[in-house]
Amino acid sequence: MDRESIESSMIKSLGYDASSFLLEVEFTNGKVYQYLDVLPDVYSSLVDSDSVGKSFIALIKKPGYEHIQL
């Protein structure tokens, strides 16, 4: 999956596949995770936020999306 670079102290890049609702996150520590069943409006809110790191915690991590580490 192609990812776009993000300006964040926590996240290096994000990728999203709207057909499978799959969010891919590369963290600044080099780890890459895929988050399942992320709806397009959640992804849009994430990338349009002023702080992607804070929004990631609020929108993805706290709700407990199922994920796998690559």
- d(CA 12, CA 39) in angstroms, rounded, equals 21
Q: In 1-70, where does DSSP find H-type helix?
A: 40-47, 52-56
- d(CA 56, CA 38) in angstroms, rounded, equals 12
Tell whether the model's pLDDT for residue 1 goes beyond 90: no
Reported pTM: 0.93
Instruction: Give the pLDDT mean for 40-57.
Output: 95
Tell whether the model's pLDDT for residue 23 goes beyond 90: yes
Look at residues 24, 18, 29, 19 and name the one whose alpha carbon lies nearest to residue 60: 24
- Say what the pLDDT of residue 25 is: 98
- d(CA 6, CA 47) in angstroms, rounded, equals 9
